[in-house]
């Protein structure tokens, strides 16, 4: 099965697995089969136990190895077939040791960071009896209003594909049967990130080409990486809710891609079909969902505590139910649950270790993005004597981010971390502004204090409660009086840096030009404060890049780097200056550029592009060398790759990391193509003066696109190849594909 492809199941294991599965299936009743197709969504332990005795196949984690063992024992010893349980939990970016939020991890452009998080999180969770996580989320999204962008890997399809696969490798390890491996779940299938208006759960209407090129690709990569499960999304896709979408769940996922794992519904996703207005009652919803290809319902509607089901055999073909049960039982077997479903309670991991903390700190340092650094204000080296640390994040411990476990090790504050990291600094800590209101007295006190200090650090951001599921925002500016705080500190004339703690791109236009230096520090997890403190001193050198565009205004959304050109691309910014209305309406900049695609009251482009990020050192690139400038399509199709080399040198005086991005642009094609598409990236650490040759290759899967009939096309013609440190900073080559 697909789950075995990367998880090394031996042939004899597969044989014995199939024998176990078929023996069980042959002796199960309709109700017993259906009971395997349900994961009880957060029942209390006693209620869970009743469901388990009724034969339910999966439950949410009951919060300890002992309780998990108790439920497994009930399943094995008190049910007719003794089938062990799938025990699920959202282990998103940590269990006991919290890593940076996934969006921040994407900013590292280093997939190993995500793989390590998943490996450590899997070991911690598995030790307590969890065997299934509902992660990774690989919903591409170009709408930062959507709170769930924090859970994913940003706006780019390739970045989501690569990071999603890394997470899956980390969770599932070399073998699912290993003690510290758990099942991964690629979610949410599909196009959830395109919710209209960025409002969670909202409608998605999407063309076939966009669905395939943008939203399905990361899932295809997840299936290739051996993902054991896929979760259906809450949203409709062009009118049809994902849970009942046979084209998606069966035709594409299972038939076209050969996915052999389990499709699980989202929490109450079947129940929600009635609100969507496509099912009359729960039996109808269940029937439609299972027929469409759902294998496991999340919620608790399939069987009740007496083992009864509302679903009659007339509503779903037995063959389909058998297929779903087989998928579930195979996963249980692959996990080794039939041999031993129990965990050693004494070995349950209840707290981070030195090693897991070090990995979390490394991840946090790699995820920080230096947005601005005028006059090289950062790092603060030589050390300043008197530092004013001001802002609602100065003394806040809200660093773990959305989807954190309530039992995770809590983070400390930035103030504590700076004092620990920099014992020689004299640090004054002030609030300056609460998160959600303005407070003139706090503001005045901060301004007065600034005069007494050498440098000011403003710790600003959006609290994690504003990010994640059901946390869409319409206004992406810093909430409360934080913008006023930054402006007031700027007014003091003191050198200052702003550190942003947030879970999505923010709109910074009101203050960004006032701030000499800005660090994007996201919600970085348990070791976030220490990582930021080390970045302030220069012990760590920021090398992350933005995985999502930062707009100038929420009204620009959706704004993303891989847009199509339109027939009338704008090349000159609009200039509707205040008090200059006549000029602004028509020009002068706009005079030759009136009928083009832009806003008359905003400069062109975003505040910060996808891929933007600075360093404390500098890098330079040599001339890229393309192995060939012309290649017949046939050669490409039969596996020839176009290789590209480029030299990278650290030209500054600090060790640092450079992210190199390789984009393509198909100049003329049968469908309008994006102006750039990321095809490859790598992050390189170099000492001062050190040079390294980087190598990339482009193949059949990199140079084509999906059309509206669902065919993958690579067309002859000219391709621009851009390589370098960012969108605006690239060397250019042309590759010609010939018939
Ligand atoms: C709803 C979320 O959409 C999904 O991502 C999560 O896995 C489930 N709840 C279970 O908690």
Chain centroid to Cα 738, Å, comes to: 37
- From 469, 470, 471, 472, mutation site for ligand 1 pocket: most ligand atoms within 8 A of C-beta: 469
CA distance 498 to 491: 14
Same domain, yes or no: 569 and 457: no
Which atom of ligand 1 is least distant from the CA of 135? 7
Same domain, yes or no: 597 and 634: no
Residue 515 has pLDDT above 70, yes or no: yes
Percent share of the chain, pLDDT over 70? 96
Residue 582 has pLDDT above 50, yes or no: no
Neighbour count for residue 74 (Cβ, 10 Å): 17
Ligand 1 midpoint to CA 133 (Å) = 10
Short-list 205, 188, 200, CA closest to 504: 200
Instruction: Name the strand (E) or helix (H) holding 39.
Output: strand 38-40
Same domain, yes or no: 387 and 447: yes
Which atom of ligand 1 is least distant from the CA of 137? 5
Which atom of ligand 1 is least distant from the CA of 42? 11
Instruction: Give 438-473 pLDDT, tens digit per residue.
Output: 999 999 999 999 999 999 999 999 999 999 999 999
Residue 588 has pLDDT above 90, yes or no: no
Ligand 1 midpoint to CA 335 (Å) = 22
Could you tell me if residue 510 is inside a domain? yes
Which atom of ligand 1 is least distant from the CA of 185? 7
* Closest C-alpha to ligand 1, atom 9: 267
Place of tokens 């080390």: 534
pLDDT at 585: 45
Instruction: Give 621-640 pLDDT, tens digit per residue.
Output: 999 999 999 999 999 999 99
Same domain, yes or no: 376 and 506: yes
Ligand 1 midpoint to CA 308 (Å) = 26
Could you tell me if residue 582 is inside a domain? yes
CA distance 181 to 120: 10
Neighbour count for residue 76 (Cβ, 10 Å): 18
Ligand 1 midpoint to CA 275 (Å) = 18
- From 41, 167, 231, mutation site for ligand 1 pocket: most ligand atoms within 8 A of C-beta: 231
Contact indicator for 237, 191 with CB cutoff of 8 Å = yes
- Please identify which of the residues 90, 117, 156, 266 carries the catalytic annotation: 266
CA distance 394 to 389: 6
pLDDT at 581: 43
Which residues, in sequence order, are CB contacts of 117 under 8 Å at separation 6+?
A: 93, 94, 99, 100, 105, 167, 170, 359, 360, 363
Could you tell me if residue 59 is inside a domain? no
Give me the count of residues in the chain. Answer: 739
Chain centroid to Cα 203, Å, comes to: 21
Please give the angle made by the CA atoms of 367, 368 and 374, to the nearest 5 degrees.
155
Ligand 1 midpoint to CA 412 (Å) = 27
Could you tell me if residue 547 is inside a domain? no
Residue 335 has pLDDT above 70, yes or no: yes
Same domain, yes or no: 393 and 458: yes
* Domain tally, the chain: 4
Which residues, in sequence order, are CB contacts of 339 under 8 Å at separation 6+?
A: none
Which atom of ligand 1 is least distant from the CA of 188? 5
pLDDT at 418: 98
CA distance 345 to 349: 9
Please give the angle made by the CA atoms of 642, 648 and 650, to the nearest 5 degrees.
165
* Closest C-alpha to ligand 1, atom 11: 90
Same domain, yes or no: 710 and 571: no
According to the 3-state scheme, what is the secondary structure of 679-692?
EEEEEEEECCCCEE
Ligand 1 midpoint to CA 309 (Å) = 24
Place of tokens 């129940």: 271
For residue 497, what pLDDT band results from cuts at 50, 70 and 90?
A: very high
* Closest C-alpha to ligand 1, atom 8: 267
Name residues contacting ligand 1 (CB within 6 A).
90, 134, 187, 266-267, 469
Q: Tell me, what CATH number does 659's domain have?
A: 2.60.40.10
Ligand 1 midpoint to CA 221 (Å) = 21
- From 270, 298, 300, 468, mutation site for ligand 1 pocket: most ligand atoms within 8 A of C-beta: 298
Q: Considering just the CA atoms, what is the radius of gyration of the chain in Å?
A: 27
* Closest C-alpha to ligand 1, atom 10: 267
Structure tokens at 702: 């990199």
Same domain, yes or no: 729 and 663: yes
* Lowest-confidence region among 291-305, 462-476, 526-540, 570-584: 570-584
Range of the domain at 593: 562-604
Same domain, yes or no: 319 and 258: yes
pLDDT at 139: 98
* Closest C-alpha to ligand 1, atom 7: 134
For residue 189, what pLDDT band results from cuts at 50, 70 and 90?
A: very high
Same domain, yes or no: 390 and 305: no
Verify whether residue 156 is a known catalytic residue: no
Residue 95 has pLDDT above 90, yes or no: yes
Which atom of ligand 1 is least distant from the CA of 151? 5
Please give the angle made by the CA atoms of 727, 733 and 739, to the nearest 5 degrees.
120
Q: CA-CA distances (angstroms) from residue 336 to 11, 60, 198, 354?
A: 15, 19, 41, 29
Residue 346 has pLDDT above 60, yes or no: yes
Residue 6 has pLDDT above 90, yes or no: no
Q: Tell me, what CATH number does 478's domain have?
A: 3.40.50.1700
Could you tell me if residue 30 is inside a domain? no
- From 42, 102, 134, 272, mutation site for ligand 1 pocket: most ligand atoms within 8 A of C-beta: 134
Contact indicator for 46, 57 with CB cutoff of 8 Å = no
Structure tokens at 22: 């078929």
More confident residue, 3 or 310: 310
Instruction: Give 154-184 pLDDT, tens digit per residue.
Output: 999 999 999 999 999 999 999 999 999 999 9
464 φ/ψ sector (left φ>0, alpha ψ -120 to 50, else beta): alpha
Query: What is the model's pTM?
Result: 0.96
498: number of CA atoms within 13 Å, CB side?
27
CA distance 104 to 545: 9
The mean pLDDT of the chain is 95
Neighbour count for residue 382 (Cβ, 10 Å): 7
Average pLDDT in the 513-534 region? Answer: 98
Could you tell me if residue 223 is inside a domain? no
622: number of CA atoms within 13 Å, CB side?
14
Short-list 237, 254, 251, CA closest to 324: 254
Same domain, yes or no: 508 and 575: no
CA distance 99 to 94: 6
Contact indicator for 509, 515 with CB cutoff of 8 Å = no
Which atom of ligand 1 is least distant from the CA of 134? 7
Which residues, in sequence order, are CB contacts of 436 under 8 Å at separation 6+?
A: 479, 480
Query: Treating both helix axes as pointing N-terminal to C-terminal, what angle do 318-334 and 11-26 enclose, rounded to 10 degrees?
Result: 140
CA distance 427 to 332: 55
Could you tell me if residue 118 is inside a domain? no
Could you tell me if residue 119 is inside a domain? no
Average pLDDT in the 677-706 region? Answer: 98
Ligand 1 midpoint to CA 234 (Å) = 9
CA distance 235 to 469: 13
Short-list 699, 516, 518, 712, CA closest to 613: 518
Q: Tell me, what CATH number does 312's domain have?
A: 3.20.20.300
Percent share of the chain, pLDDT over 90? 91
Average pLDDT in the 590-609 region? Answer: 82
Same domain, yes or no: 198 and 321: yes
Same domain, yes or no: 599 and 623: no
* Closest C-alpha to ligand 1, atom 3: 266
* Closest C-alpha to ligand 1, atom 4: 266
Contacts 24+ apart (CB under 8 A), 281-289: 281/310, 282/310, 283/310, 283/311, 283/312, 283/315, 284/315, 285/243, 285/244, 286/310, 286/311, 286/315, 286/316, 287/311, 287/315, 287/316, 288/243, 288/244, 289/232, 289/243, 289/244, 289/265
Ligand 1 midpoint to CA 356 (Å) = 25
């Amino acid at each position: 099965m697909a789950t075995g492809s990367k998880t090394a199941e031996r042939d004899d294991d597969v044989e014995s697995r199939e024998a176990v599965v078929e023996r069980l299936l042959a002796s199960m009743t309709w109700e017993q089969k259906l009971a395997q197709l349900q994961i009880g969504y957060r029942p209390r332990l006693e209620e869970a136990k009743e469901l388990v005795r009724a034969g339910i196949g999966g439950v949410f984690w009951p919060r300890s190895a002992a309780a998990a063992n108790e439920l497994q024992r009930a399943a094995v010893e008190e049910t007719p077939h003794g089938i062990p349980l799938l025990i699920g939990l959202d282990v998103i970016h940590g269990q006991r040791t919290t890593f940076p939020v996934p969006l921040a991890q994407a900013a590292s452009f280093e997939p190993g960071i995500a793989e390590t998080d998943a490996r450590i999180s899997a070991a911690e969770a598995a030790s307590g009896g969890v065997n299934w996580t509902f992660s990774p989320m690989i919903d591409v999204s170009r709408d930062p209003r959507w709170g769930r962008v924090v859970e994913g890997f940003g706006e780019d399809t390739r970045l989501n594909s690569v990071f999603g696969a890394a997470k899956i490798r980390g969770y599932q390890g070399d073998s699912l049967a290993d003690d510290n491996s758990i099942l991964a779940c690629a979610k949410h299938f599909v196009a959830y990130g395109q919710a209209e208006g960025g409002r969670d759960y909202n409608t998605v209407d999407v063309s076939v080409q966009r669905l395939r090129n943008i939203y399905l690709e990361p899932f295809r990569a997840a299936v290739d990486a051996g993902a054991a499960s896929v979760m259906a999304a809450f949203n409709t896709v062009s009118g049809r809710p994902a849970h009942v979408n046979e084209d998606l769940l069966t035709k594409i996922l299972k038939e076209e891609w050969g996915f052999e794992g389990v499709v699980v519904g989202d929490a109450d996703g079947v129940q929600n079909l009635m609100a969507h207005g496509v099912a009359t009652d729960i039996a109808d919803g269940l029937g439609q969902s299972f027929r469409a290809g759902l294998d496991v319902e999340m919620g608790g509607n399939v069987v009740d505590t007496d083992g009864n089901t509302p679903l009659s055999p007339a509503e779903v073909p037995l063959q389909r139910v058998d297929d779903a049960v087989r998928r579930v039982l195979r996963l249980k077997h692959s996990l080794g649950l039939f041999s031993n479903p129990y965990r050693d309670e004494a070995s349950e991991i209840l707290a981070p270790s030195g090693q897991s903390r070090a990995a979390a700190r490394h991840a946090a340092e790699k995820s920080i993005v230096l947005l601005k650094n005028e006059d090289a204000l950062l790092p603060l080296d030589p050390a300043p004597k008197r530092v004013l640390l001001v802002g609602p994040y100065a003394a806040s411990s809200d660093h773990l981010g959305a989807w954190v476990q309530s039992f995770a090790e809590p983070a400390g504050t930035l103030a504590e971390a700076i004092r620990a990291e920099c014992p020689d600094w004299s640090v004054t800590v002030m609030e300056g502004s609460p998160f959600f209101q303005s407070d003139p007295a706090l503001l005045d006190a901060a301004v007065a204090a600034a005069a007494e200090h050498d440098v000011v650090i403003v710790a600003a951001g959006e609290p994690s409660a504003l990010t994640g599921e059901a946390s869409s925002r319409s206004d992406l500016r810093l909430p409360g009086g934080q913008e006023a705080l930054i402006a007031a500190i700027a007014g003091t004339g003191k050198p200052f840096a702003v550190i942003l703690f947030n879970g999505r791109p923010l709109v910074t236009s009101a203050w960004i030009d006032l701030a000499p230096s800005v660090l994007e520090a996201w919600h970085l997890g348990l070791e976030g404060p220490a990582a930021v403190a080390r970045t302030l001193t220069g012990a760590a050198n920021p090398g992350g890049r933005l995985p999502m565009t930062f707009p100038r205004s929420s009204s620009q959304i959706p704004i993303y780097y891989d847009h199509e050109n339109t027939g009338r691309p704008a090349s000159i910014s609009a200039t509707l200056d205040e008090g200059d209305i006549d000029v602004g309406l028509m020009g002068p900049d706009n005079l030759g550029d009136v009928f083009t695609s832009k806003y008359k009251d905003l400069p062109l482009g975003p505040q910060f592009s996808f891929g933007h990020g600075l360093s404390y050192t500098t890098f330079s690139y040599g001339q890229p060398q393309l192995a060939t400038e012309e290649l017949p399509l046939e050669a490409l199709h039969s596996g020839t790759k176009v290789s590209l080399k480029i030299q990278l040198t650290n030209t500054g005086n600090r060790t640092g990391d450079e992210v190199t991005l390789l984009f393509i642009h198909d100049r003329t094609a049968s469908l309008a193509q994006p102006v750039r598409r990321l095809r490859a990236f790598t992050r390189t650490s170099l000492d001062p003066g050190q040079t390294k040759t980087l190598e990339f290759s482009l193949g059949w899967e990199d140079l084509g696109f999906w059309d509206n009939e669902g065919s993958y096309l690579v067309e002859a013609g000219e391709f621009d190849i851009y390589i370098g440190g960012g969108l605006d900073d690239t060397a250019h080559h042309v590759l010609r594909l010939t018939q």
